[in-house]
Chains A and B, each alone.
Chain A
Amino acid sequence: SQQGEEDPQALSIQEGENATMNCSYKTSINNLQWYRQNSGRGLVHLILIRSNEREKHSGRLRVTLDTSKKSSSLLITASRAADTASYFCATDAGTGNQFYFGTGTSLTVIP
C-alpha cells in the first residue's frame, strides 16, 4: 500500500486564510518532501525536510515533521487564489531511491 496519506482529501478556504494539510506515513524515512500539482501539470517541489529536522520554512510555507508519530504538516499562510492546487507528500521509506506519494490534498482558495 502507499506510504503516505494526506488529510484532508479536500480543503476550501477564503483568500488570506491559512491552510493546513497533514501527511502520515508508515515506515522510517530519510526525508519527507512536499509537492504541488496544478491541474493538468507536473508536480513541483516545495520543501524537503530531513528526518533529523523538526521544522522548516520557505516563504509562506511551513513544514513540520514528527518522526515519533510518523506525521508531517504543511502550513500555507495568507493563502492566495494561485495556491489552488493539489498538494502531495512523498517519502523514501528509508530506501533512498524510491519515493512513495500520498493521495494528495486538493486545496481551493476562493478569491
Chain B
Amino acid sequence: DTAVSQTPKYLVTQMGNDKSIKCEQNLGHDTMYWYKQDSKKFLKIMFSYNNKELIINETVPNRFSPKSPDKAHLNLHINSLELGDSAVYFCASSQPLREQFFGPGTRLTVL
C-alpha cells in the first residue's frame, strides 16, 4: 500500500520537450506539494495545492504548471524543458500543519 506514488521514477528527455510527472496519494490528505531537489540536495518548494488554493513559489518559472484532476492527484507538467531543470522532483501530501509524506522521487535528466 504505497501512500504517495510517483511515475515515472526516471525521465530522460531532450531540451525543448514537454513532459509530465504524475503523483497520487491514497492518504486522504487535503494538501499536496511539489518539490525540486538539486544536485546539492537543496530541497525547494515549488507548489502547494489543496482543493481551495494553489500557492506558487514565486521563483518557479511559468513553464512549470501543476494540474489536479481530483483531490488524490497532483501532476506536474513542464513545458520547453531546459538543462537546468535536471533534478529530482518529489511529490508530497499532508493535512494542514501536519507531517508530510513524500513520494519516492522522479529523477529528470534533460539532455
Contact = CB atoms under 8 A, between A and B. Distances in A.
B51 to A, nearest CB: 13
A7 to B, nearest CB: 15
Contacts, number: 63
A17 to B, nearest CB: 23
B97 A92 contact: yes
A99 B100 contact: yes
Interface residues of A, number: 26
B43 interface: yes
Interface of B: 4, 31, 33, 35, 40-45, 48, 50, 53, 55, 57, 90, 92, 96-105
Interface of A: 2, 30-31, 33, 35, 37, 40-45, 48, 86, 88, 90, 92, 96-101, 103-104, 106
Given A45-B99, A99-B33, 13 more contacts: A2-B44, A33-B99, A35-B102, A42-B103, A45-B100, A45-B101, A48-B98, A92-B97, A97-B31, A97-B96, A98-B57, A103-B41, A104-B41
